[in-house]
Chains A and B, each alone.
Chain A
Amino acid sequence: MSEPDVVLRLTDLVKTFPGVRALDGVQLEVRAGEVHCLLGQNGAGKSTLIKVLSGVHRPDAGTVEWLGQPVAFANPQAAMKAGIATIYQELDLVDDLSVSENVFLGHEPRRLGFIRRGAMADRTRRILGSLGHEEIPARRMVHALQAAGKQVVSMARALSQEAKLMIMDEPSAVLAHDEVENLFRIIRSLTAQGIAVIYISHRLEEIREIGDRVTVLKDGRTTAANLSAKETPTSELVSRMTGRTIEYVFPPRPEEPPQREELLRVDGLTRAGEFRDVSLSVAAGEIVGIAGLVGSGRSELLETVYGARRADTGTVTLGGRTLRPGSVGSAVRAGMGMAPEERKSQALLLGEPIYRNMTLATFSGLARLGFTDAGRERAEADRIAASLDLRPRDVRRPVGTLSGGNQQKVVVGRWLLGDTRLLLLDEPTRGVDVGARAELYRVIRRLASEGVGVLLVSSEVPEVLGLSDRVLVMREGRVVRQAPSHELDEDTVLDLVMAGSLMEGTPA
């Protein structure tokens, strides 16, 4: 039996995906009227946990106890009906409906099949009032609202269904600084009504201010439960999140080479709202890692260096040649290659054979007078497939039939075919299982030893530290620290990326 005020209790929750154990024994206990913070690095399992709670995924093992009863939500509607609402980062509102239509979407008050618009607007006003936001007009179109307003509407929707638990996934990420205070005021009014809140944030200072208790996740496991949000020392929280239990095998770094030739130089690169005044360099044969949270501007930076986004100001120079801003063609011709963050949507033609995916950037060069040479393409792709130990090796198979790790090898392999001098890797091991990771690390290191420069972005701090020669730490669109990787450790980097809560005034 649960204590009366515990609304949610998770015991030994397990959820596996092919090749990955996303949740591996999660314990969580949430009381009515509290703000329970979830803390963990990217990939620790927070998103999976949210999805299990909101009925998107079903757990493979373990129990979910909701209001004292074991439950299994078949779908998100069932979770919603039971009183668990999730406020996602990308708010799931319909832009072209009004505020009240959004609040009551799917459960509109009706009479004889007709929506009672007046009643709906009245109730919306009442709910908005209870959130302290009666100034939001119930009939205003949602697209006319700012991000903060949309967030309020999303919460109002949860309240309209009498939610008893609200899961907020990094709600402050979309808000300006002064709007966060307002968010906290709303959260306090929710908890005063007895509603429980699961609050996910990377910002320790927020957790200190709004949180009651903290549960820490690492590698899909609860490493600390029900710590006091106010009193637990930061060092303890950080240490609970770090120190991977899965040991990644990183290939050894070479002895410090004498003089490396500068390959890439980025000067004062800026894109409004994404990153500001970033300068960096990558030498031939060097692996430079960028650490930072989602939203710190790291992927945007990489794409801008590559020309997939056009810089507002600043220059990118590769091997002494200044690249035309906003031109991928110019970057590729100069010898740049990129493995983008979203493999499936940004890099692969899933229905096409492996070899055609591998030669996507080079088939013109392999062609004669505009006629493609499929035999030569297959031979070249087969050679790369062998050197990357692609499984299965048959390059005629559609690339969509491969596992994540092997798909990533195809994307990296694409750039091994040409004269690539600088490789940009955005989350190269996302969705890749542990064994394949080690292989990819070896491939990346081998490329560097052959003189290729590598600029790498990863959410996983150990990966950046273990693989790179030099590390840049990004926070809110700025490079806050630049150092050889052996001078940094996981705790330091984590502190740097998390809003400078511990080491205020770090040397940049």
Chain B
Amino acid sequence: MTLSEGTGLAVPGAATEPPGGAAQKRSWAGESGESVARNLVLVGVLVALIVIGAITQPQLYSDSTWVWNNMVSILQLASVVGVVTVGMTFVIIGGGIDLSVGAIVALAGVWCTTLATQSYGTVGMIFTAIVVAVSVGLINGVLISYGRLVPFIATLAMLVSARGLAAAISGKQTQISANTFINSLASDRVLGVPLLVYILAVVAVAGWVLLNRTTFGRRTVAVGGNPEAARLAGIDVKLHTMLLYGLSGLCCGIAAIMLTSQATSAQAAMGNLYELDAIAAAIIGGTLLSGGRGTIVGSILGVLIFATITNLFAINGLSTEAQNMVKGGIIVAAVLVQQFRFKSVTQFFARNRATTTS
């Protein structure tokens, strides 16, 4: 017999009673109200950055064609890192970190643009990039889950060796992509927007659904939020952790194709420091570095904020050095804000507990 049948006995009416109708309406706010608020703050920051752009360069912003093109270029700038960040967000929510994403992008990009691979055509190149990237991600996952390596160390080692392999395969040469389909992903536009941006949109939506609407996503939150509780509830924490790194690899594979398309070539140095951009974007987006909490929307907003800052510096003719310093400051500020919020939330819990039990 099942327990669930028997336990309704105490309150017989309860089983048929629908869960409070009034409460249903505010369910989205009740469950994720905090992250919604956080994301609204991020949207505010984004708007503020654009306003700063308009104030500093009024003559550029008076030209609507330029504004549109600038928006598109920001989105295009964000697209590749955005895809990597979606995978990174899963890994961090699951309680890990993946420092090897940039190196995986490079390895997958180089591997899929070798002359041998290119001879298999578009499908062969895409297939190669995805398989290589997923495999490398799964190797990370196996080392971390079953080899019990600390994620930081395992993926740091992978960062070095994957880029080393990429350099060996390419012979340190830039490999030109002759594939017109792949090259068209960056150059072709639909409704004035490059295909790359659509790819980011698809990956982000898929990531959102995966995180919020599937058992995989639920397991990710559980494994990152409290691995021991997840284990004792019967979740295979090791298997799931391994899969998370595979997922990060998959995103890197997609990003590798996108980046190759953007440059119409691939080389071992591509995707440099993507790990930092992706981690920073996820953190700014409200992903808790210790795991268990984070949103795809927040991460994408984080990527857009970074892309907008880069753009802001570019249109004002400021150096990338100054830009990097500002980015560093923003990361620190974001984490400080996060800690402050988290503290106030736990204090709220503590107060609540005291009042409900006394």
Which A residues are in CB contact (< 8 Å) with B20?
A: 394
Is A353 an interface position by the 8 A CB rule? yes
| Smallest Cβ-Cβ distance to A348: which chain B residue | B229
The residue on A at minimum CB distance from B213 is A371
Contact indicator B3/A415 (Cβ below 8 Å): yes
A96 within 8 A of B: no
Q: When chains A and B are docked, how far (Å) is the Cα of A384 from the Cα of B218?
A: 20
Q: Distance (Å) between the CB of B203 and the closest chain A CB?
A: 18
Q: How far is the CA of A16 from the CA of B226 in the complex (A)?
A: 30
Give the distance to chain A from B208, nearest Cβ to Cβ, in Å: 13
Number of interface residues of A (CB under 8 A): 66
Query: Is residue A287 contacting chain B, with contact meaning CB distance below 8 A?
Result: no
Determine whether A101 belongs to the interface, using a CB cutoff of 8 Å to chain B.
no
Is the Cβ of A433 less than 8 Å from the Cβ of B357? Answer: yes
A223 to B31, CA, bound (A): 49
Is B3 in contact with A401, judged by CB distance below 8 angstroms? no
| A345-B226 contact in complex given A367-B214, A378-B19, C-beta closer than 8 Å | yes
Residue-wise interface mask of B (2-23) relative to A, using a CB-CB cutoff of 8 A (1 in contact, 0 not):
1110111111001101111001
Q: Across the interface, do A387 and B7 meet the contact criterion of CB distance under 8 Å?
A: yes
Task: Let me know if B232 and A349 touch, CB within 8 A.
Answer: no
Q: A394 vs B29: C-alpha distance in the bound complex, in angstroms?
A: 14
If A372-B213, A396-B23 touch, does A347 touch B352 (CB 8 Å cutoff)?
no
In Å, the complex CA distance between A407 and B216 comes to 25
- Write out, one digit per residue, whether chain A residues 157-185 have a CB within 8 A of any chain B CB (1) or not (0): 00000000000000000000000000000
Selected contact of B229 from candidates A331, A333, A360, CB within 8 Å = A360
Inter-chain contact A349/B292, CB cutoff 8 Å: yes
Which parts of A317-362 form the interface with B (CB within 8 Å)?
328-329, 331-333, 338, 340, 345-353, 356, 360-361
Residues of A within 8 A of B228 (CB): 345-346
CB distance from B134 to the nearest CB of A (A): 19
CB atoms of B357 and A348 under 8 A apart: no
- Among B2, B17, B27, B232, find the residue whose CB has the most chain A CB atoms closer than 10 A: B232
Residues from chain A with a CB closer than 8 A to the CB of B354 are: 18
A484 CB–B CB distance under 8 Å: no
- Cβ of A389 under 8 Å from chain B: yes
Asked whether B232 lies within 8 Å of A395 as measured between CB atoms, the reply is no
Complex alpha-carbon distance, A433 and B357, angstroms: 8
Q: A346-B229, A360-B229, A398-B349 are in contact. Are A418 and B218 (CB under 8 A)?
A: no
Stretch binding the partner chain, chosen from A197-205, A447-455, A494-502: A447-455
Chain B residues within 8 Å of A76, by CB: none
CA distance A491 to B356 in the complex (A): 36
Q: How far is the CA of A406 from the CA of B9 in the complex (A)?
A: 19
Complex contact A363–B215 (CB within 8 A): yes
A2 on interface, CB distance cutoff 8 Å: no
Q: Contact check, A349 vs B218: say whether CB atoms are below 8 A apart.
A: no
Q: Per a CB cutoff under 8 Å, which of B30, B215, B230, B352 touches A372?
A: B215
Tally of B interface residues using CB under 8 Å? 49
**Interface residues of B: mostly helix, strand, loop or mixed?**
helix
B128 to chain A, nearest CB (A): 27
- B272 smallest CB distance to A (angstroms): 35
Does B358 make an interface contact (CB < 8 A)?
yes
Which residues of chain B in 343-358 are interfacial with respect to chain A, using CB atoms and an 8 Å cutoff? 345, 349, 352-354, 356-358
Q: Mark A437-463, 1 if CB is under 8 A from B, else 0.
A: 000000000110011100000000000
Inter-subunit contact A351/B293 (CB<8 Å): yes
Residues on B with C-beta less than 8 A from A78 are none
Q: Chain A 411-440 against B: per-residue CB contact (8 Å), 1 yes, 0 no?
A: 000111111100000000000010000000
- Taking CB atoms, residues of chain B closer than 8 Å to A347 are 226, 229, 232-233
- Residues of B contacting A397 in the complex (Cβ-Cβ under 8 angstroms): 30
A306 within 8 A of B: yes
| Chain B residues within an 8 Å CB radius of A346 | 226, 228-229, 232
Q: Are A353 and B234 also in contact (CB < 8 A) when A403-B353, A450-B3 are?
A: no
- Collect the chain A residues with CB atoms within 8 Å of residue B7's CB: 383-384, 387-388, 416, 446-447, 450
**Given A361-B233, A370-B215: A403 touches B356 (CB 8 Å cut-off):** yes
Give Cα A452–Cα B292 distance, bound, in whole angstroms: 33
Closest to B226 in A: A349
Output the nearest chain B residue to A424 by Cβ-Cβ distance: B232
> Across the interface, do A361 and B234 meet the contact criterion of CB distance under 8 Å?
yes
- CB < 8 Å A-B pair total: 157
B353 touches A18 (CB 8 A): yes
| Residue A225 interfacial (CB < 8 Å) | no
Given known pairs A338-B232, A347-B232, A351-B225, the reply for A404 and B19 (CB within 8 Å) is no
The yes or no answer to B221 lying at the interface (CB within 8 A) is yes
User: In the complex where A18-B358, A386-B17, A420-B3 touch, is A328 in contact with B352 (Cβ < 8 A)?
Assistant: no
CB contact between A417 and one of B4, B230, B353 (< 8 Å): that residue: B4
Question: Is A72 in the interface zone, CB < 8 Å from B?
Answer: no
By a CB distance below 8 angstroms, the chain A residues around B215 are: 363-364, 367, 370-372
- Contacting pair A419 B2 (CB below 8 A): yes
**In the complex, A41→B171 CA distance in Å?**
73
Task: A378 to B10: give the CA distance in the assembly, Å.
Answer: 19
Closest CB in chain A relative to B341 CB, distance in Å: 12
Is A360 in contact with B214, judged by CB distance below 8 angstroms? no
- Complex-state Cα separation, A391 to B4, whole angstroms: 20
Which chain A positions have C-beta within 8 A of B11?
386-387, 389
CB atoms of B213 and A418 under 8 A apart: no
| B residues less than 8 Å from A386 (CB atoms) | 8, 10-11, 14-15, 17
Chain A residues near B225: list those with CB within 8 A: 349, 351-352
Decide: A418 and B230 in contact? CB cutoff 8 A.
no
Q: Are A418's CB and B3's CB within 8 A?
A: yes
Q: In the complex, which residues of chain A have a beta carbon less than 8 angstroms from the beta carbon of B293?
A: 351
- B353 with A387: CB separation less than 8 A: no
Q: How far is the CB of B25 from chain A (nearest CB, A)?
A: 12
Whether B349 contacts A350 by the Cβ 8 Å rule is: yes
Partner of A19 from B4, B235, B358 at Cβ < 8 Å: B358
Verify if A308 is at the interface (C-beta below 8 Å from B).
yes
Cβ of B191 within 8 Å of any chain A Cβ, yes or no, is no
Q: Are B6 and A450 closer than 8 Å at their CB atoms?
A: yes
Rounded to whole Å, the gap between the CB of A496 and the closest CB of chain B is: 30
Contacts of A416 in B (CB 8 A): 3-4, 7
Within 8 Å of chain A (Cβ to Cβ): is B222? yes
Does residue A380 face the partner (Cβ distance < 8 Å to B)?
yes
Q: Is B322 an interface position by the 8 A CB rule?
A: no
Partner of B234, one of A332, A370, A394, A403: A332
Residues of A within 8 A of B222 (CB): 349, 360
Chain B residues with CB below 8 A from A268, complex form:
none
B→A interface (CB under 8 Å)? 1-4, 6-11, 14-15, 17-20, 23, 27, 30-31, 213-218, 221-222, 225-226, 228-236, 292-293, 345, 349, 352-354, 356-358
A-B contact pairs, 14 of them (CB 8 A): A18-B358, A329-B236, A332-B233, A345-B229, A349-B222, A350-B349, A351-B292, A352-B221, A352-B225, A353-B30, A360-B229, A367-B215, A387-B7, A403-B353
Given contacts A351-B293, A387-B7, A392-B356, 17 further A-B contacts (CB under 8 A): A18-B354, A308-B232, A349-B226, A360-B233, A363-B215, A370-B215, A380-B4, A382-B17, A384-B4, A386-B8, A386-B17, A387-B8, A387-B14, A402-B353, A416-B3, A418-B2, A418-B4
Q: Would you list the 7 A-B pairs with minimal beta carbon distance, nearest first?
A: A386-B14, A332-B234, A403-B357, A450-B6, A361-B233, A19-B357, A349-B225
